[in-house]
Amino acid sequence: MLTLGCARNEVDSEELAGRLAADGFRLVDDPAEADTVVVNTCGFVEQAKKDSVDTLLEAADLKHDAGGGGRAQAVVAVGCLAERYGKDLADSLPEADAVLGFDDYPDIAARLRSIVAGETHHPHTPSDRRRLLPISPVDRQNGAPAAPTPRARLESGPMAPLKLASGCDRRCTFCAIPRFRGSFVSRRPSDVLTEARWLAGEGVRELFLVSENSTSYGKDLGDLRLLETLLPEVAGIDGVEWVRVSYLQPAEIRPGLIEAMTTTPGVVPYFDLSFQHASPTVLRRMRRFGDPDSFLGLLDRVRGLAPTAGVRSNVIVGFPGETEDDLQTLCDFLVAARLDVTGVFGYSDEDGTEAAGFTDQLDDDEVAERVRHVGDLVEQLNAQRAEERLGEDVVVLVESLEDGVAEGRAAHQGPEVDGTTRLEDAVGLAVGDLVPAVVTATEGVDLVARPRVAAGVVR
């Protein structure tokens, strides 16, 4: 099972792995030792699509029938790219033996057996999955609870993503995710808590709550404040030390949610805020809301309750119609915002989105130049923000130990994309330890810290 893309895809892969293991399949770590290679693709942006196709081609090279030296008989594409393009992907990529959509997931074991046996799988023709839902809160409450989806951990680290919901109800003009992921559907709190307890029993110390829009959690269950009440329950599970929430819409954040995320014991004050831009004009064309003053006010409220809170965001530059003044508004906001990490993406058309039809597209070279300009600025700003943390007391979750060096993340650093913290003295430490430390140096967004021995390690 090879996984590309976001943490939500990681959960999907572990659910697929759980279904397969429950039906007699054995998972192997090396694709060359597999009879079937399943590639969970990402279809979000152009580079992600390319990476997914490249991975499928590399997997196809292992096929025994092609003389690749491996034992693989079949390469199967699943995930967002497969769902988004279905038959078109299958026609353009004959190296993949099958392209499976989301509707194939419940019967994944039977699908793989038939594919390995040489049967032809007819891929789906994609449709707008938003039309399948929403299900009303009354129907959700009165319906019989769905059987829990089995899950098998594919990673052994002390952090694991935990899905809150799937899909999205927003209509951002640049984003195709709702079309192939469907409308927003919250998981029942009981299902979230059951899976959280299972993960804790597997040795997970940090739970990373993921969805396309975590601020919407509960709205389809009739309770928009459900996340505020769920967080203390998740954080109170024995063995769970940290709970982190991802992907928050700035326009939907409520004062009660900020308070819950900054004052609940065990919930780290970490805000993954999807600003996307700061110019009101550009944001309106994106079908989003906000402006520099409202965004900075939100950050002030967060830091008023948790001065050392971690804040990250992504921005899109070169959106159709973006003027030099719009770009300067974004840059001025980023200077004032003091974000820990900012991802900078150049706009590109996505199939089926409203923005793809806008007539005032910027030249590709101009978009690339704006990405370089904002990217250089962000690199400086993020490094400056890291330097502001010199002398700060942090707690570090140890994720790896190698040659006497411990590396992990402080509470303000999210998994994989927000930098790491290296501990200067790793004597006696183990993966999964929570180590009080003081920041002594920075390397870009990465930190170096010295353990505070007297403070004690949490095991």
Q: Which residues are annotated as a binding site?
A: 6, 42, 80, 168, 172, 175
| CA atoms within 13 Å, Cβ hemisphere of 90 | 18
Cα 31 from chain centroid?
24
DSSP of 332-386: HHHHHH--SEEEEEE----TT-SGGG-S-PPPHHHHHHHHHHHHHHHHHHHHHHH
As annotated, the binding site for [4Fe-4S] cluster includes 6, 42, 80, 168, 172, 175
Buried b (16+ CB within 10 A) or exposed e, 342-363: bebbbbbebeebebeebeebbe
Which residue has 């089926």 as its token pair?
A: 352
Distances (CA, A) of 371 to 169, 261, 336, 341: 28, 32, 19, 15
| Side-by-side strand order, sheet with 242-245 | 159-163, 206-210, 242-245
Task: Calculate the alpha carbon distances from 395 to 231, 392, 442, 451, 455 in Å.
Answer: 20, 10, 16, 9, 10
